[in-house]
Structure 1
Amino acid sequence: MSLNKRKVLITGCSDDSIGSSLALAFHKAGYHVYATARDPNKITQLMSQGIETLTLDTLSEDSIAECVKKVPSLDILVNNAGKHFLMPVVDVNIAEAKKVYDTNVWAHIAVTQAFMPLLLESKGTIVNQTSVGVTLTLPFQGVYNSSKAAMSMLSDTMRLELEPFGVKVIELRTGVVKTNLIKTMRTSTNPTIPEDSIYEPARESIEKSLRQEQFENAGMEREQWAEAVVQDLSRKSPRPVIWRGEAAFLSWVLSLLPFGWSDGIAKKFSGLNDVAQILGKKKQL
């Protein structure tokens, strides 16, 4: 390991994920990368590229502490590990929703706190992965997007709080990127609404929306996204908010419009228009 290489640690680097692509892009750019994942058996692709891999379960205090012991110095921490979740808000299982916040919010804070001594020493950078959804109202994504919005606010707050110490905090708002996330979600959880859901008459349309089949092959290529992000973060003065991925620019533009102007687009792409038609017809019968 070259002593003069900048060191970056990335959470959530399982094979075929955006974290994995980001680790490879940093590696190609000359960084020493610590690529981490909860299950070391799911990070073999990066090992074969000569990238240092570490086990890190961001939900485990013991795992975080053990990982910190193996990292002598650190310049950039990328809080990337996340959990996806779709469900109408009134049908949300609270226990499952709390797991989303545990992974997308509190785990990021816990990892940041653990690596803070190294980041203070290097006057390093914290990168928090959020989503373009922090500025959009998207049906059925209320829990997921609100967890990202919470992390967005926390990230911006840390930006001010850590400025006196020379530590930069950057929010990475990612748009649509081609990953195995949707396929994995569909095969592992097969999202369905409860039997007593108020959306029961439109169950088929709702569950089709929850599976997000229309987005399975959509998005920017992971490698293209990762290379752009590394270029952004390698600048002398990176922007405090970085928008990358398909629909990122459109999301930025929509965030500037008056309240409610993006509702029509959100209803169309989420499938809510179809659901509304079905519910309307059922009501007339």
Structure 2
Amino acid sequence: MPTVLITGCSSGIGRALADAFRDAGHEVWATARKPEDVERLAAAGFTARPLDVNDPQALTRLAEELPTLDILINNAGYGAMGPLLDGGVDAMQRQFQTNVFALVGVTRALFPLLRRSRGLVVNIGSVSGVLVTPFAGAYCASKAAVHALTDALRLELAPFGVRVMEVQPGAIASQFASHAQHEAEQLLAPTSPWWPLREQIQARARASQDRPTPAASFAQGVLAATRRSPVPVLVRLGNGSTALPLLARVLPRRLLDWVLRKRFGLLRGL
């Protein structure tokens, strides 16, 4: 029975992935940060463990407890929304800590197990790393970094027989939008130069729920990709996952800028 470990399984994509892999016959180690989420995962029959992906000691304990590992799915992450300069360096550091640095930390901690099994690393990126939008600069940058790191890991782990795949979701039904909206509300204040555009900022936070693909369908797509031979380098799943990168590739930069500025109310002066 192959063993898969998934980070960020409290809800949405992570929980759907856990369900899909368990139903397909895998032993699923499902991790979450909050104790109540871990309890729910355990009650659902998973091998549930608490894990803050930013805690090196927790990663060491998990690596020592895992007997074997065939697939690692780096899913944990969140979306920092709001004007880039409002959040500043602090917001970017928090965003990169969870979405980027932790991905490397988790993979590094579990690499000996993956090397032993000649396993697979699956990094959950985003089409936002390809098509950058206003009011999501830190998030888009973090997912662009995930793309670059995945490319590097795929090359560097190849001699050990460890394969690496990136998944770039489009709009997937999850709690991402509500969390992103909360992040934007926490950041944006009446003193912000972008306060007059608060409705457009909220609209960007909600964009991931624009005709979203069910999380269960997304998870089945990821499962199917892990079973292909050879494993694909990049998989795009969900509404907008192919159209948005295509726009980024074919539209002239100035035209794309105009489209995005119009969409988010940035054509007029403030």
Q: CA deviation at 1:46?
A: 3.3
**Structure 1, residues 84-135: CA drift from partner, whole Å, max 9, x if none?**
1112222223212201000001001011000000011011111111101111
The equivalent of 1:102 in structure 2 is 97
SS in 1 for 2:132: coil
Contact 1:59 1:102 in 2 (8 A): yes
The equivalent of 2:2 in structure 1 is 6
Q: Which runs of 5+ in 2 are unaligned?
A: none
Cα 1:184–1:196 shift into 2, 3 Å: closer
**Structure number, greater radius of gyration:** 1
The yes-or-no answer on 1:223 pairing with 2:207 is no
**Structure 1, residues 210-241: CA drift from partner, whole Å, max 9, x if none?**
542x6546310111111111111122212111
Q: Distance in 1 between matches of 2:184 and 2:129?
A: 24
The yes-or-no answer on 1:73 pairing with 2:76 is no
Q: Distance in 1 between matches of 2:99 and 2:187?
A: 22
**Structure 1, residues 17-56: CA drift from partner, whole Å, max 9, x if none?**
2101001000111111111111231144433332211111
Could you tell me which of 226, 239, 253 is aligned with 1:246? Answer: 239
Q: Which runs of 5+ in 1 are unaligned?
A: none
Could you tell me which of 8, 27, 32 is aligned with 1:37? Answer: 32
The yes-or-no answer on 1:116 pairing with 2:111 is yes
SS in 2 for 1:256: helix
Give the partner amino acid of 2:221: A
The equivalent of 2:267 in structure 1 is 276
Could you tell me which of 253, 256, 261 is aligned with 1:262? Answer: 256
SS in 2 for 1:126: strand
Scaled by the length of structure 1, what TM-score is found? Answer: 0.87
The alignment covers a number of residue pairs equal to 269
Q: Distance in 2 between matches of 1:217 and 1:173?
A: 16
**Structure 1, residues 54-74: CA drift from partner, whole Å, max 9, x if none?**
111100011111111221000
The yes-or-no answer on 1:140 pairing with 2:135 is yes
Q: Which moved more, 1:82-91 or 1:257-266?
A: 257-266
SS in 1 for 2:242: helix
SS in 2 for 1:82: coil
Contact 2:172 2:208 in 1 (8 A): no
The yes-or-no answer on 1:125 pairing with 2:120 is yes
SS in 1 for 2:123: strand
Give the partner amino acid of 1:205: E
Q: Distance in 1 between matches of 2:246 and 2:116?
A: 38
Q: Which moved more, 1:39-48 or 1:26-35?
A: 39-48
Q: Distance in 1 between matches of 2:261 and 2:211?
A: 18
Q: CA deviation at 1:175?
A: 0.8
Q: Which moved more, 1:256-265 or 1:218-227?
A: 256-265
SS in 2 for 1:84: coil
- Please tell me the root mean square deviation across aligned C-alpha atoms, in Å: 2.1
The equivalent of 2:44 in structure 1 is 49
Q: Percent identity?
A: 30
The equivalent of 2:146 in structure 1 is 151
Cα 1:189–1:136 shift into 2, 3 Å: closer
The equivalent of 2:160 in structure 1 is 165
After superposition, residues 20-31 of structure 1 pair within 5 angstroms as 20-31=15-26
